[in-house]
Amino acid sequence: MHLLVKGIQHQLTGEVLVPNSKYHAHRALILASLADGVSRVHGLSDARHVQYTVQLLRGLGVKITTDGDTFVVHGLGGRYRPRRAAVSAGSSGTTLYFMIGLAALSDRPVSVTGQKYFRRRPVGPLLGALRQMGVRLESADDCPPVHVQDHRPTGGHVQIAGTLSQWISGLILLAPFASGHTTIEVQGELNERSYLELTVAMMRQFGLQVTVSDDWRRFDIEPDQEAVPTDLTLPPDIGSAAFGIAAAAIHPSDVLLRGMTRLEGGPADHPEFHFLDIARAMGVPMELDEAAGGVRIQQDRPELKGVTVDCRDVPDMLPILSTLGTFAYGESVFQNIAHTRLKESDRAAAMLQLNSMGGDLELSGDALRVRGVEGLVGAKLSSFNDHRVLMSLAVASSRARGHSTLTYPGAYRISYPTFLDAMNTLGLPMSVENGAGGSAKGASRRLEKEVAKPDLAAGITLPEWLRRRAASRPDDTAVIDVRPDRDEVVTWRGLEERVERAAALLLRLGVKPGENVAYQLPNRVEFVVLSLAALRVGAVCCPIIPFFREREVGFVLRRSKARVLVVADRYRSRGPAEELLGLPARERGELEQVVVISESAGPATMPEGDSDGLVLHDWEQALAETELDEAARAALDALVPTPAMTAQLLFTSGTTGEPKGVTQPSEHLVRAVSMEIKHLGLGARDAVWVPSPLAHQTGFLYGMTLAMVLGVPQIVQSEWDAKRALQSLNEHGATFVQAATPFLSDLVKAVEDGGEMPRKLRIFVATGATVPRGLAERAGRVLGADICGAFGTTETCLGALSAPSDEPGQRWGSDGRALDGIELRVTDDQGRVLPAGEEGNYEIHSPTVFDGYLDRPDLTAEVFTEDGWYRTGDLATIDSAGFLRITGRVKDVINRGGEKIPVAEIEQLLFDHPAVDDVAVVAMPDERLGERACAFVVLKDGSGLSFDDMVAYLDEHQVAKQYWPERLEPIGVLPRNPIGKVQKFELRERARGLRPQGA
């Protein structure tokens, strides 16, 4: 579902009725509920947030009925009588903030909660202030639900930050009913003063007295007051009118906003009245039409100009002002916007999506700068389920060329239920569409029936998937190889031809079915070709991480017994082929043939020196010399790989520090990606971006393999560069990516630094290192994509995954839920399954669990329980809804940006240093990579060891740079328990505040 907006060029005409103010409605209903008697509030508001206030008050025993267009409220005289143990604020922040404290006026304990995703909204500062006032309450995590005792507040001296006016209003509304005098002092910057002015003015209408300092930073309230019933009429809602004003301002128009009878007033009339002054300063031609009973905007040609605005005066108007600024001459500067980033979404970042349409917006410190542009183009946008963002972007899209789509199309109902009707009445085509316009759901119906059916998909090998696409869609794009200087596009037909020739080359080199083919290549089309070629002849793909050096490469060669290795002549500043020749013959295992691929176009730079028995080949030359004649094709056709055959051998590291070879059959790999396709609703119009190393399971499986099974383009990038990535994302229409935290963090930073927002990216599955929840939430806003949490291992493939349809807090605030066909559980150390919410050992039962560790049945047996569940080695909780949250790791492994550092191995190397007496390596938290390694070292008497000394030592021992500790911390003695085991939890705590050393 999305909101479809069609850009127009014709004049807007007609009239719309401005709804009544929801701000007045919230306050009037609550104050009326506190009075002793019947109050009448004229002018119903059908905003969903107001209905949440009505429902919560009814849950507290207040009788609220309607009489025509009037709320009739039977107040309880300051003493609520809850009908149940818990009442809900729905998704209304105003309702929640106002009613947490007032719930203390109940005659029994009551919990104040909200909708599921709303239960992650932080209210810590408000709770702290309420406790200062004597309210007795509890919250597990400073978020709803909040358990409030039936204890009248005592009053006192209360201090609270001025960040959100609703927190302060909640205190002011409660203070008259305290048993003692209350003084409320605002600390720091005061935002949204106009809302406080409205709160105090309406309290006085109900007979409650508040003494306010001239600067509105101190409130004195006497105790034991009584609210009196009153009749009042709700004024028109300027916040809703603003969207009609903006629509009429950016188009030729003759529009009447009926119900608005004033163009001048003050905050007590409406907290957003100042918006009218700003709109007029920008050149919106508003005139009061008394005869028609409204404000008229009439113009033949929009002529707006930039302004400078202090957003503390118009707290919720930043989104629609950004739209106006986009079509104004010159620059508009919206200052003091920090508090706007704490609303339903980060509204400043959300409006940066206008840049993807051709706008010119920039976040600069505590200001948003908007430079006017001539026009916009339609785009796919996200509303982040924020009603003001949705409506503001929709109005902007009405002036764009083409169509635009916005997510969470129903968000407008929260505050302006008649928004769509109003816009269409004026001539702006807006409609809620179900799956049209290229959505994944619509596209998925054109896929082969097996793609999203894991049981069927698993029976088809990757070479067969390739053959199908080359036959049915030969000229469609299969692979896009993004290089620093150029892009190479390969069709399905072209890919099949390359794979067939490479497969014939492997046969010529003596590769046999079941044999491991090793290759160390960055993300480029040759990796894809070689992988499919190995599978085509029934061999096993054994990719090696590109940053591995002689030491790690030698280990893989010895354990895999690979006879053929393919490497690049250059990788960044290194020469992998030259490094290979530097390995002693005994370190190469059974290696016989080495194929070298050129980093750039042309012949490869072959390594110099003694090949010591190895036969060297240039990749392009070897392919050219490989005949695809009738005999070669017959030899290939005689080989028919089956789904049950081993397709992949990946080496990973565990607590022992020794890399372990994980073997997976083809049917597991294909089943795993089909499960994800089904879970996420991926379709034929998607395009898969692959920044993760293809030699890592994330890139190999959920990049390359997923794109092959889905039959869509895969976009591979050999050298990571966030700016180049943004460019390629938009040039090639990438819609899906699965990658680790650093890629997500770097993309967000690139956009925030002024880069173009991804126009079509809709899903980013964050795996590898633990993703900070704050980063995930921010990334969703900045990138305009759904950030989905997940958990998987090389041994199991994905076990848990969230989905775009999940509530935001679950989507990016958890590690997902079990995919269909997979079971998850948490057990204690005795193997007993724990109830929902309890932390324990996280275990998986899945049809995609690996066959076993290569030649290590002992290690394989260790990771399985007696009843066949895989022990992940992680600690976790699973809530009652089935959402997983990883809480820690049992295994002593550091996860650096998705790469697990073999801690024991690094410790052993450092322990062998002549200056080191003892050493322990632990995780040091890092925002970008999740974790980095910190080495705590006990030095021998009289010895010294600097950080640079340690780096040089590890470099000398040919350890991959990604495995080097990034901080050296001398320590007198390592903390140990009575049996001598190092207490690493103490060291991890010490490392929490440390930062990396060196460059």
Query: DSSP alpha helices (H): ranges in 612-700?
Result: 619-624, 630-637, 666-680, 697-699
**pLDDT (average), residues 19-33:** 91
- What is the reported pLDDT for 888? 63
- Between 109-123, 498-512, 609-623, 914-928, the lowest mean confidence (pLDDT) is in 109-123
Q: Does domain 22-225 have CATH number 3.65.10.10?
A: yes
Residue 419's nearest CA partner among 781, 90, 46, 27 is: 46
Instruction: Decide if pLDDT at 268 tops 50.
Output: no
**pLDDT (average), residues 304-326:** 91
- What is the reported pLDDT for 982? 73
Q: Tell me which range, 270-274, 600-604, 786-790, is most confidently predicted by mean pLDDT.
A: 786-790
- What is the reported pLDDT for 442? 34
Residue-wise pLDDT for 816-843, tens only, equals 999 999 999 999 989 999 999 998 899 9
Fold agreement (2-17+236-433, 22-225) = yes
pTM greater than the 0.85 cutoff: no
Query: Which residue type sits at 100?
Result: I
DSSP state string for 268-317: TT-TTTHHHHHHHHTT--EEEETTTTEEEEEESS--EE--EEETTSSTT-
Does 678 appear as a known binding residue?
Answer: no
- What is the reported pLDDT for 393? 97
- Rounded CA-CA distance 266/268 in Å is 5
Instruction: Decide if pLDDT at 593 tops 70.
Output: yes
Does 121 appear as a known binding residue?
Answer: yes
Does 165 appear as a known binding residue?
Answer: yes
Separation in Å, CA 381 to CA 327, 405, 745, 759, 766? 18, 6, 20, 8, 20
- Can you give the length of the chain in residues? 999
Is residue 872 helix, strand or coil?
strand
**pLDDT (average), residues 632-638:** 90
Does 388 appear as a known binding residue?
Answer: yes
User: Structure tokens of 173?
Assistant: 């509304």
Question: For the domain bounded by 894-991, which CATH number is listed?
Answer: 3.30.300.30
Reported confidence tier of residue 201, pLDDT bands at 50, 70, 90: very high
Q: Does domain 2-17+236-433 have CATH number 3.30.565.10?
A: no
Residues with active-site annotation: 316
- Residue 739 CB neighbours (<10 A): 26
Does 855 appear as a known binding residue?
Answer: no
Reported confidence tier of residue 134, pLDDT bands at 50, 70, 90: very high
- What is the reported pLDDT for 652? 79
- What is the reported pLDDT for 558? 94
- What is the reported pLDDT for 889? 64
Separation in Å, CA 391 to CA 117, 219, 240, 377, 388? 22, 36, 10, 17, 5
Q: Tell me what the pLDDT averaged over the chain comes to.
A: 88
Does 558 appear as a known binding residue?
Answer: no
- What is the reported pLDDT for 772? 64
- What is the reported pLDDT for 169? 94
8 Å CB contact between 74 and 99: no
Reported confidence tier of residue 768, pLDDT bands at 50, 70, 90: low
Does 316 appear as a known binding residue?
Answer: yes
Q: Where are the domains of the chain?
A: 2-17+236-433, 22-225, 894-991
Reported confidence tier of residue 267, pLDDT bands at 50, 70, 90: very low
- Between 203-207, 227-231, 568-572, 600-604, the lowest mean confidence (pLDDT) is in 600-604
- What is the reported pLDDT for 893? 66
